[in-house]
Structure 1
Amino acid sequence: MSRAEEFEGLRPLLFSIAYRLLGSVGEAEDAVQETWLRWDASETRPASTRSFLAAVVTRISIDVLRSARVRREEYVGPWLPEPLLDDPYQDPERAAELAESVSMASLLLLERLSPLERAVFVLRDVFAFDFVEIASAVGRSQAACHQLAVRARRHMREERPRYEADGAERRRLAGRFLDALRTGNVEGLRQLLAADVRMAGDGGGRTPNWKPVLVGEAEVARVLGLLVPPLVRIGGAVRPREVNGQPGAILLDPRGRVLNVMALDLADGRVRAIRSVSNPDKLRHVGPVADAWAVFRETDQGRSPAERLGGAPG
């Protein structure tokens, strides 16, 4: 097998490691490409190509994380991961860990860890690398990696989100929610939302947004009922889609271009969190991106005075 064939066989794993560390599809793809360039230029013949390449992509990702910290701190509004529609790496024996670790809720928890804690947790608890491999990847002793893993697990365990366990029930609940969303059934939405539901919107300051975070079923249902049905009336669409391993949807403008991607956290028969990404820079890998301001003006013309949210979005 050629080096290129070896690399291509491991590309899904390398992307999945990088994405969990970076929360960005574009940055993860860049990290994988840089890994290939280093591998192609290297004369090293490692005992394990998998371990070697995983270590390289991890180191590159850690460097990106450190350089991105200032950008994250200066980001306008809530920062959410770029939505991932399909995780290329599949391992039936670790399917549960893989699905949970790629959820937006888990990725946001990982954001609170240091780059080294994040790398050790992802390599050990998600992808089951041993501590010899991890120590080589992050440049720390095995004992130090054990301590990093303990701290990361404690933090993740304390705040780990709960999910609806049954996949069929998740799909049914998400389907009912999206049906109510399309039709503007505010009371139906309220019945499906947890009392303390939170809705966060990541537009990066580049799309219409009234409040970056909404809390409570009444406010979330009201705003969703005002925003989405007018879009559907002018020919837009709400397409169910798994997002980051959880139920979600893609909202499209009348020309089929992507407006935003919405991920749902479901537990105890209710929608507990909604995370909506509309920053166009975070959607280009999903498909052609809509002009959100133009769509807002088009939908706003069809709203009655009673339907207007009041005030200009910002």
Structure 2
Amino acid sequence: MTRAEEFEELRPLLFSIAYRILGSVSEAEDAVQETWLRYEASPTPPASAKAFLSAVVTRISIDVLRSARVRREEYVGPWFPEPLLSDPYEDPERSAELADSLSMAALLLLERLSPLERAVFVLREVFGFGFPEIASAVGRSEAACRQLAVRARRHMDAGRPRFEADRRRREELAERFFDAFREGDVDGLRALLAADVQLVGDGGGKAPQWKPVFLGAENVGRVLATLVPLFVRLGGVVEQHQVNGQPGAIFRDPDGRVLSTWALDVLDGQVQTIRTVINPDKLRHMGPVADTWAALREASQIRRPAD
């Protein structure tokens, strides 16, 4: 097998590692590309391509994350990962770990860890790497990596998100939610909200939003009562998808351009959290992005149909 073939076989794994460390599709893709350039330039083939490439992409991702943290401190409003519709890497033996680690809630928890803790946690808990491989990847001793893993696990366990255990029930509730949205059924939407539901938006100061966070069924219900009729009058499209392994949807304008993504946390038969990504910079990997300011103006100018 040639180096290029080996690399392409491992590309899904490398992207999945980088995305979980970075929370960014574009930065993960860049890290994978840089990994290929270093692999191609290495004078002798490594004993294990998987170990070598995983170590390289991890080191690159740690460096990128350290510089990205400064930018995130200056970010306008809540910061969310770039939404990912599907994980390219599959491992039946670790499917639960892979799915849980991909959710917006889990990735936001990872943000609390130091770059080294985050990398160690991802390699150990998500992908099942051994400590000798992890130590080589992050440039620390095995003992230090074990300590980093313990600290990271403690932080993650303390805030671990809870989801409806039955994935089918999650999807069914999400289907009802987005069907009600399409139909303009605000009462139907309200009926699915938990009393302490949160609606949180990541616009990055580059898209219209009333405020970053709405708390409670009454406040979220008011937002939906304003937003849903505007979206329906605009002729927008709600395209149901898995978003970061959770029930969600892509919202598009009538021309098919992406307006936002929504991801739902579902528990006890109710929607507990709605996370929307509106920042156009985080949506470009999904295709053409709409001008949300223009869409909002257009929807506001469309007359309501006569009663």
TM over 0.5: yes
SS of residue paired to 1:45: coil
What's the counterpart of residue 221 of structure 1? Answer: 221
Q: Distance in 2 between matches of 1:215 and 1:182?
A: 23
The answer to whether the Cα contact below 8 Å between 1:181 and 1:225 also exists between their aligned partners in 2 is: no
The answer to whether the Cα contact below 8 Å between 2:101 and 2:126 also exists between their aligned partners in 1 is: yes
CA RMSD of aligned residues (A): 1.1
The within-5 A match list for 1:224-263 is 224-263=224-263
Q: State the shift of 1:186 in Å.
A: 2.7
Q: Distance in 2 between matches of 1:156 and 1:38?
A: 32
Q: Distance in 1 between matches of 2:73 and 2:271?
A: 29
Query: Which stretch of structure 1 is more off in the superposition, 12-21 or 161-170?
Result: 161-170
Q: Distance in 1 between matches of 2:153 and 2:214?
A: 29
The answer to whether the Cα contact below 8 Å between 1:20 and 1:102 also exists between their aligned partners in 2 is: yes
SS of residue paired to 2:134: helix
* CA shift digits 1:189-224 (9 cap, x unpaired): 222111111111111101111110111111112212
The answer to whether the Cα contact below 8 Å between 2:234 and 2:295 also exists between their aligned partners in 1 is: no
The answer to whether the Cα contact below 8 Å between 1:230 and 1:303 also exists between their aligned partners in 2 is: no
What's the counterpart of residue 206 of structure 2? Answer: 206
Amino-acid identity (%): 72
**Equivalenced residues, count:** 304
What's the counterpart of residue 150 of structure 1? Answer: 150
Q: Distance in 2 between matches of 1:69 and 1:260?
A: 24
What's the counterpart of residue 44 of structure 1? Answer: 44
Q: Which consecutive unaligned segments of at least 5 residues does structure 2 have?
A: none
Q: Distance in 1 between matches of 2:229 and 2:180?
A: 9
* CA shift digits 1:265-302 (9 cap, x unpaired): 11111111111001111001111100101000011113
Q: Distance in 2 between matches of 1:263 and 1:239?
A: 12
Q: Distance in 1 between matches of 2:231 and 2:268?
A: 30
The answer to whether the Cα contact below 8 Å between 2:186 and 2:228 also exists between their aligned partners in 1 is: no
What's the counterpart of residue 293 of structure 2? Answer: 293
SS of residue paired to 2:286: coil
Q: Distance in 1 between matches of 2:177 and 2:209?
A: 21
SS of residue paired to 1:285: helix
Q: Does 1:72 align with 2:72?
A: yes
What's the counterpart of residue 311 of structure 1? Answer: none
The aligned amino acid for 2:106 is S
The within-5 A match list for 1:55-134 is 55-134=55-134
Q: Distance in 2 between matches of 1:224 and 1:260?
A: 15
Runs of 4+ in 1 over 4 A off after TM superposition: none
The aligned amino acid for 2:88 is P
* CA shift digits 1:74-103 (9 cap, x unpaired): 011110000000110001111111011010
Q: State the shift of 1:228 in Å.
A: 2.7
* CA shift digits 1:29-71 (9 cap, x unpaired): 0000000000000013222110110000000000001111110
The answer to whether the Cα contact below 8 Å between 2:241 and 2:248 also exists between their aligned partners in 1 is: yes
Query: Which stretch of structure 1 is more off in the superposition, 31-40 or 229-238?
Result: 229-238
Q: State the shift of 1:231 in Å.
A: 1.6
The answer to whether the Cα contact below 8 Å between 2:109 and 2:159 also exists between their aligned partners in 1 is: yes
Q: Distance in 2 between matches of 1:5 and 1:133?
A: 22
Q: Distance in 2 between matches of 1:140 and 1:52?
A: 16
The answer to whether the Cα contact below 8 Å between 2:10 and 2:50 also exists between their aligned partners in 1 is: yes
* CA shift digits 1:155-203 (9 cap, x unpaired): 1111111111112111110011112222333332222111111111111
Q: State the shift of 1:303 in Å.
A: 6.3
Query: Which stretch of structure 1 is more off in the superposition, 168-177 or 127-136?
Result: 168-177
Q: State the shift of 1:232 in Å.
A: 2.1
TM-score, normalising length from structure 2? 0.97
What's the counterpart of residue 12 of structure 1? Answer: 12
SS of residue paired to 1:162: coil
Query: Which stretch of structure 1 is more off in the superposition, 30-39 or 44-53?
Result: 44-53
TM-score, normalising length from structure 1? 0.95
